[in-house]
Amino acid sequence: MRRTLHYLWLAALLLCPVVLWILPADFFNDGNGLSCPSQVLLDIECLGCGMTRAVMHLHHFDLTEAIFYNTGVLLVYPFLVWFWQHCVRTELRWLELWPRQTTKLPA
C-alpha cells in the first residue's frame, strides 16, 4: 500500500509541469480564484501578489509578462524547479528506481 502511494505521488509530480504547459499561459489572469487575504482585509498588495500568474507565464517562457506580474518570479521559479526535481529524485530513490550516490574513500 505504501509503495503504491509513492508511485501515485511520483505520477502526480511528473504530471504537474505537463498540466501547467497544457493550460494556457493566461489561465490564472482572470482573478476569479482565491483572493489574497492582505488585499481583502488591508487593501494592500503583499510581496506574493501576482506570483501565481508570474510563475505560469514564466513556465510558458513569457519573461516580460512574468516580470510584469511579479519580479520575484526570477528568484521563486528557479527554486520551484529545483524543489520539484528534488522531490522527483527523492521518490525515485525511495522506489529504488534511481541509483543512490555512494562515496568511495581513497584506499
Closest CA to 14 of 85, 105, 63: 85
How much is the pLDDT for 34? 61
How much is the pLDDT for 47? 81
Closest CA to 27 of 65, 56, 59, 62: 56
How much is the pLDDT for 38? 76
How much is the pLDDT for 55? 92
pLDDT along the chain (107 residues), means of 10: 89 92 84 68 80 91 93 95 94 83 68
* Predicted model pTM: 0.77
Cell of 91: 521518490
- Measured CA to CA, the distance from residue 20 to residue 71 in angstroms comes to 20
How much is the pLDDT for 32? 60
Domain-by-domain residue ranges, the chain?
Answer: 2-94
* Backbone φ, ψ for residue 13 (5° rounding): -65, -40
Neighbour count for residue 38 (Cβ, 10 Å): 14
